[in-house]
Amino acid sequence: MGDGGTPHGALKPRLELRGITKAFPGVLANDKIDLKILPGEIHALLGENGAGKSTLVKIIYGVLEADEGDLLWNGVPLRIASPHAARKLGIGMIFQHFSLFEAMTVTENIALGLPGRQNMAELARRIVEVSNNYGLPLEPHRHVHTLSVGEKQRIEIVRCLLQNPKLLIMDEPTSVLTPQEADKMFETLRRLADEGVSILYISHKLDEIKALCHKATILRGGKYITECDPTQETSKSLAEMMIGTNLVAPEHVENATRGEVRLKIRDLSMETSDQFGVNLSQINLDVRAGEVMGIAGVAGNGQVEFLEALSGEVLSQDPANIQLDGKPIGKLGPVERRNLRLAFVPEDRLGHGSVPEMDLVDNAFLSAYSQKKLLKAGFIDRSTTTAFAEEIVQKFDVRTAGVSHTAGSLSGGNLQKFIVGREMLQDPRLIIIAHPTWGVDAGAAAAIHQAIIDLAENGAAVLVVSQDLDELFAISDQIAVIAEGRLSVNRNIREITIEEIGLLMGGTHGAGERKEVSSVA
């Protein structure tokens, strides 16, 4: 199976799509898409956000119905009317955003995905058996909200396996896993393929696809582009087929002269009020002027709480826990922190980063009114604010029909560029950016990365929290890992390997080193 070629060349395709077309009001999400998956084949579906991958998968899984085109299952044309019908055929799906019920146990979650009645005790026994058999250990009686993201994904996989699937659809399965967890999952997938299961693997991580998949179908803008053998392509050539233009990697010159310490975090601990939250424990960190500090970690390890503490949404116990330019700011609210020229790009674009129902001018005003002096005698200076919003749109290449359009009408990538631009143009001394390119297409991501690097070169301190290791390696000077509410000691990006970061993400801390840092403080 490792040869990467067509494994069962003479076989009839398990699933074949011909000319699938699906239109939504205003967009043609799928435009005459063809796809062929053989038994035992791991087939990649590759494309940018908005390329039509999700729509196509929903059609296969019976969530949506195609407007036109044929679907053939083992050579027989048929219509899949519902997910129930799909599962009956032997199609299993593992969702990117898990379809799990947090308040229920592992067994209950799996029972919900199976047809008919189950004896819960018997089901629990089968879960243990199947999960151990495939190297995906699960404890059936645990409540889902107490599990790690990797364990949650195992529930989804085991739920599919219990139904003896013929085709397994996986939507960006590794985006929430540590590199080690991902490797383990690949072993399971290869074994399933050896047993004859077809796998449709959706991802935009090209290295993974090259390592795992036998075939790849590439979509762009809702259209079928080509089918290729990913092992015969380079990451660059795959990316270019996906995007349709040449990709320019961000230029990153190492900053030899690191400036003075801008952000100093000392012994920051915090109890969360959220039942599903994470407590922060003894966080220490220095971020210097002119450097990009990357914070890696699997989601749900305290990133949300850490960002809330930094932005001032939640105040720390001691003002000296967080210092900006030597000034204790731990007890200052978000506005006061902004007045000290701390800028903040939150994780949640719609809701935290912008007000979706307001236009871009108002959104520009909301976080920048003090820095950019947009108030005139207590009233909004509409013309200056409009000029500022237009400056953001122009400098950060935000694609919009005009600044009078609402924030909610922008695509994810464009809104992110707008928010990043709004914060960067306030000339911050420290900028904190959460997941700068989450859900952003590659072209916009490259632009945002370049902007972050340029800002640091101009002397700002930058702290980036991200789950995407490739991103952190592309833009950071220093990197630290957050796991279970603790932050590892930071390391130079050139002196640390992906494997070491993976181990830290799994919760193995450099405890001895951490003590040293605290005593220096």
Partner 1 sequence: MSGVEWIIPILLTVITAATPLVFAGIGELVTEKSGVLNLGVEGMLLVGAVAAFVTATVTGNYFLAVAAGALAGAFLAFLFGVLTLSLMANQVATGLALTLFGVGVSALIGQDFVGIPVDALPKLAVPGLSDIPVLGPVLFGQDALVYLSLFMAALVSWFLYRTKGGLILRAVGDSHNAAHSIGYSVIGIRYLAVMFGGAMSGVGGAYLSLAYTPMWAENMTAGRGWIALALIVFATWKPGLVVVGAYMFGGITILQLHAQAAGLDVPSQILSMLPYLATVVVLVLISKDESRIRKHAPACIGKIFHPAA
Half-sphere exposure of 496 (CA within 13 A, CB side): 23
CB of 273 to partner 1, least distance (A): 7
CB of 96 to partner 1, least distance (A): 11
**Whether 405 contacts 359, CB under 8 Å:** yes
Q: Tell me the H-state helices in 134-272.
A: 149-161, 179-194, 206-212, 235-243
* Closer by beta carbon to partner 1, 273 or else 497: 273
* Closer by beta carbon to partner 1, 98 or else 186: 98
How far is the C-alpha of 49 from the C-alpha of 411, rounded, in Å? 10
Residues in contact with partner 1, counted by CB under 8 A, come to a total of: 23
Query: Please, which of residues 185-224 interact with partner 1 by CB under 8 A?
Result: none
CB of 173 to partner 1, least distance (A): 15
Print the binding letters for residues 234-273 with partner 1: x by CB under 8 A, - otherwise: ---------------------------------------x
Query: Please, which of residues 435-494 interact with partner 1 by CB under 8 A?
Result: none
Query: Please, which of residues 56-115 interact with partner 1 by CB under 8 A?
Result: 62-63, 82-84, 87, 93, 95, 98-104, 108, 111-113
CB of 61 to partner 1, least distance (A): 8
Three-class SS of 433-472: EECCCCCCCHHHHHHHHHHHHHHHHCCCEEEEECCCHHHH
Print the binding letters for residues 375-394 with partner 1: x by CB under 8 A, - otherwise: --------------------
Of positions 6, 21, 118, 282, contacts partner 1 by CB under 8 A: 118
* Closer by beta carbon to partner 1, 94 or else 461: 94
* Closer by beta carbon to partner 1, 163 or else 188: 163
* String of DSSP letters for 33-72: EEEEE-TT-EEEEE--TTSSHHHHHHHHTTSS--SEEEEE
How far is the C-alpha of 243 from the C-alpha of 453, rounded, in Å? 23
**Residue carrying the six token digits 């002096």:** 373
Which residues touch 59 (CB under 8 Å, ≥6 apart)? 20, 22, 30, 65, 66, 71, 80
Q: Which amino acid is at 186?
A: F
* Closer by beta carbon to partner 1, 138 or else 160: 160
* Closer by beta carbon to partner 1, 277 or else 510: 277
Rg (CA), the chain: 24
* Closer by beta carbon to partner 1, 98 or else 438: 98
How far is the C-alpha of 12 from the C-alpha of 41, rounded, in Å? 12
Of positions 245, 246, 275, 519, contacts partner 1 by CB under 8 A: 275
**Whether 507 contacts 483, CB under 8 Å:** yes
Report the interface residues with partner 1, using CB under 8 A.
Answer: 62-63, 82-84, 87, 93, 95, 98-104, 108, 111-113, 117-118, 273, 275
